[in-house]
Structure 1
Amino acid sequence: MLDFQHITKVFNAGKATEVTAINDITLQLEPRSYTVLVGANGSGKSTLLNLIAGNTYVDTGIIRLHGKEIQRLPDYRRSRWVARVFQNPLIGTAASLSILDNFRMASLRRSRKWVKLGADRLFTQLVRDKVSTLGMGLENKLAQPMGTLSGGQRQALTLLMTVMADVDILLLDEPSAALDPRSARKVMEIADRIIRENKLTALLVTHNIGEALRYGSRLIQMESGRIVRDYDQRAKSELSQTEVVSWFDYY
């Protein structure tokens, strides 16, 4: 379980620009659950993901993963359990390295044996088999530099690379926002499959109402650093797109 107890995060404390990004949130996410976070810009969604990943630390409160406090662990320690996919397809991959080398780098979090083995035939076949599941034909282009691929291809590969290590939690920070509609749908379908097949605990931040209703088993709306709505799977299934759109002024 991922457990938040009264967590708070304030930026620029004591200054005129002070912002309370997370305001006394208590929240429990069950193992293998898939939660969608929505809210206006500045509502605290990405800050919450940053607090989970260790990119920033809570000011007060406790974050527990499987009963162990992690709120003071640095991000490189948490990367053993937590993977993240960002909005920008350029983040999370090395553009000058091949697809295969990117996967080799991703695998290092799981086991040091890959440092010794490198990209031997066994590892290459493993990557080829995984990449073939995307249905993009990239399994025959493993020597191609990552930077020559389209945004949708890179994002799909990034999703696959997150599970090269034995992670528990997948953070999806608007992974389809920078993509064209067709690529966005493909990437979200791939993400959904990876989450289910690997039994991950997932959090998806999105501004896309269609995605918010289609994916996940729980829907949370944040506002001014607080959770203002929290729908379980049954209640979420009864929501209409018009109703969710009405929550926000910017749609």
Structure 2
Amino acid sequence: MLQLQHITKVFNAGKATEVAAVQDVTLRLEPRSFTVLVGANGSGKSTLLNLIAGSIYPDKGSLLLHGHDIQRLPDYQRSRWIGRVFQNPLLGTAASLSILDNFRMAALRGSTKWLKLGTGTAFRRQVADKVSTLGMGLENKLAQPMGTLSGGQRQALTLLMTVMADVDILLLDEPTAALDPRSAREVMETANRLIAEDQLAALLVTHNINEALRYGSRLIQMENGKIIRDYEEIAKRTLDHGAVVSWFDYY
């Protein structure tokens, strides 16, 4: 369980360019929950994800994971518990390495062991079994360089690698924005399955209202660094596309 308590982040404090990116945000993410975060550009969504991931630190407030304070841990230490998938499929993988070697690197994330790219039969079988769940036939191409794959294939593999180290929190930063509709649907279906199977607490940032309503169990809207709507009944499908669109004047 992840708890944010009265989190505030101000950039360029005391200057003419001061921006209160996140203001007094309190949020709780439970296992097997799929929370969707929407809002206009500049509303604070990406800053909030960066605060959770450890890319930046809050000015005020506390951030607790399973009751332990992690707000001053850097992102590379938090990666043992918090995984993140970015908008650009190129950011989540090493293009020159094979699929198998990418999975090996992911498996050692947060480990104190020396990185060894050698992979044994048992590990290869484990990776092949995981990759086969995508239904893309890539389990037979583990020696193929990651850079030769399509964006949708790389993003789907990134999702699998992100949870390879048994993370508890999954941050999805517009993971389908650069994909075609079919690839986007495959990536979101994979994410939805992993959240349920691994009992993850997921937070998705998206501008795609259809994705938000189809996959989310909770819908949060941010504006000017604040949470202005927190709709926890989305799983009952009592919201429709038109109702959510009416929240915004930029769509």
- Same-fold status (TM-score > 0.5): yes
Taking the aligned partners of 1:145 and 1:44, their CA distance within structure 2 comes to: 36
Question: What is the aligned partner in structure 1 of residue 157 from structure 2?
Answer: 157
Contact 2:9 2:23 (8 Å CA) reproduced: yes
Taking the aligned partners of 1:116 and 1:153, their CA distance within structure 2 comes to: 25
SS at 1:222 equivalent: strand
SS at 1:17 equivalent: coil
- Alpha-carbon deviations, 1:129-185, whole Å to 9, x = none? 111110101111111111111000000000000111011000000000100111111
Contact 2:99 2:145 (8 Å CA) reproduced: yes
SS at 1:211 equivalent: helix
Question: What is the aligned partner in structure 2 of residue 81 from structure 1?
Answer: 81
Taking the aligned partners of 1:175 and 1:128, their CA distance within structure 2 comes to: 23
Question: 1:22-37 alignment to 2 at 5 Å?
Answer: 22-37=22-37
Amino acid at match of 2:119: A
Question: 1:20-59 alignment to 2 at 5 Å?
Answer: 20-59=20-59
* Worse-superposed segment, 107-116 or 181-190: 107-116
Structure 1 gaps of 5+ residues are none
| RMSD after superposition | 1.6
Contact 1:35 1:204 (8 Å CA) reproduced: yes
| Aligned residue pairs, count | 251
Question: 1:93-242 alignment to 2 at 5 Å?
Answer: 93-109=93-109, 115=115, 118-233=118-233, 237-242=237-242
Taking the aligned partners of 1:117 and 1:86, their CA distance within structure 2 comes to: 24
Contact 2:11 2:21 (8 Å CA) reproduced: yes
Taking the aligned partners of 1:148 and 1:72, their CA distance within structure 2 comes to: 38
Q: If the length of structure 1 is used for normalisation, what is the TM-score? A: 0.96
* 1:6 equivalenced with 2:10 (yes/no): no
Taking the aligned partners of 2:194 and 2:31, their CA distance within structure 1 comes to: 15
- Alpha-carbon deviations, 1:190-217, whole Å to 9, x = none? 1101111111010000000001111121
Q: CA deviation at 1:118?
A: 3.0
Contact 1:44 1:223 (8 Å CA) reproduced: yes
Taking the aligned partners of 2:58 and 2:27, their CA distance within structure 1 comes to: 14
Contact 1:170 1:202 (8 Å CA) reproduced: yes
Give the share of equivalent positions with the same residue, in percent: 78
Contact 2:217 2:235 (8 Å CA) reproduced: no
